[in-house]
Amino acid sequence: MMHRLSDEELLKELSDRIDEKNSALFDLRMTTKRLEEVNRRLVESEALKGHFLSNIRNEINNPLAVIIATASEIASGHGRDPAACSALGDAIRGEAFNLDFQLRNIFCAAEIEAGEALPTPAQVDLRALVEGTVSSFAPLAAAKGLELRTRWEGDPGPGQPFVTDPAKLQLILANLLSNAVKFGGEGGAVRVKVARDAAGLRLSVEDQGIGIDPADQDVIFERFHQLEGGTAKGYPGHGLGLSVARALAELLGGTITVDSAAGRGSCFTARVPETRGAGGDDVFAVDGNEFFFDA
C-alpha cells in the first residue's frame, strides 16, 4: 500500500530536491571555474614556454659561437703572444662556465618536473662548497666591477660537516649568486652571509642592484617568468634560476625568501635544515661535484 505524503512532507521533499539541485549547480559552477583557471594557466604556460625556448636558444647558441670562434683563433696561431692566448683562454672558460651553468639549470628543472630530483645526502664541507662557488663567479663579478664578499657567522670548518645534498645546495647558491651579479649595480658589492645553528643552514646573498617591487616578489619564482621580456630586455637569462633554487630548497625541506624594494637592492635567503637519518653519514663531499666514500 502506497504511503501518501502529507503536505508538509511533500514540501520538505521538494525543498530537499531543490537544495540538492542548487548544490549540484554550485559544484558545477565551481568545477567550471576551476577548469577555466586551469585552461588559462595552460595557455599562459605555453606562451611562457615559447618565450623560454626562444631565449634558451640564444643562451646556448651565443656561448657556443664564442667558444668555437675563440678556439679557432687559438688554433690558427698567427704568432699570437702568450698574453693574447691567455685572454682568449679566459674568454673560452667564461663562456663554457656560462653554458654549463645554463644546462645544469635546464636539466635540473626537467628532473624536478619529472619527479626525479631526489636528494642524495652526504657530509658536506660547507666552507669549501661556499668559497668554491663564490670564486667561480669572480670573473663575472669583476667584469661588472662588483666586489664579492663572504661573511661567516661561526666557523663551519672541515671538522664540522653539514649533512645535505651538496650538488643541490651548490646549485641553490649558484643561482642566487648569478641573480645578484646579473642585477647588481656596477661598481657595487655582492655580500654572501653563511650561518649555521640548530635549525640548519642559512645562506643569504645580497646585492645593491635594481631591487624588486613587492608586487613582483612571488612572480620571480615562477618558471620561465622574467620581469623583463621581449627582444629589448636588458639582462640575460631564461627565467629558470630562481624557480630552480626555490624548488631545490623545498626539496631539501627548506625555503627561500626575498627582502627587496624597487631601487634598493635585494637580499635572498635560503634556509636548509640538516638531513638527519636519511643516510649520507659515510659519504663525504668537498663541494657539489667531488664525493668520497668511507670504506
Q: DSSP characters for 80-142?
A: --HHHHHHHHHHHHHHHHHHHHHHHHHHHHHHHHHT------EEE-HHHHHHHHHHHTHHHHH
Q: Per-residue pLDDT tens for 92-111? A: 888 888 888 888 988 888 88
Q: So what's the pLDDT on residue 74?
A: 76
Q: What is the DSSP letter of 289?
A: S
> Among candidates 65, 135, 137, which has minimal Cα distance to 97?
137
> Which grid coordinates are listed for 253?
625541506
pLDDT at 115: 86
pLDDT reported for residue 184: 85
Question: What pLDDT was estimated at residue 12?
Answer: 76
Kindly write down the DSSP assignment for every residue of 36-70, as one continuous string.
HHHHHHHHHHHHHHHHHHHHHHHHHHHHHHHHHHH
Please identify which residue in the block is written with the cell numbers 588559462.
40
Q: What is the DSSP string of 29-40?
A: HHHHHHHHHHHH
| No. of helices (H) and no. of strands (E), the chain | 6, 9
Contact between residue 203 and residue 270 where contact means Cβ atoms under 8 Å apart: yes
C-alpha separations of 64 from 52, 60, 98, 239, 273 in Å: 18, 6, 10, 20, 38
Q: What is the pLDDT at residue 204? A: 96
Q: Which amino acid is at 60?
A: I
Helix (H) or strand (E) holding 284, with range, is strand 283-285
Provide the pLDDT for residue 245.
Answer: 95
pLDDT at 293: 47
Q: Mind listing the pLDDT tens digit for each residue in 213-250?
A: 888 877 888 865 555 544 444 555 556 889 999 999 99
Q: List, for the chain, all residue ranges whose pLDDT scores fall below the cut of 70.
A: 1-5, 7, 38-59, 77-80, 154-159, 223-239, 277-295
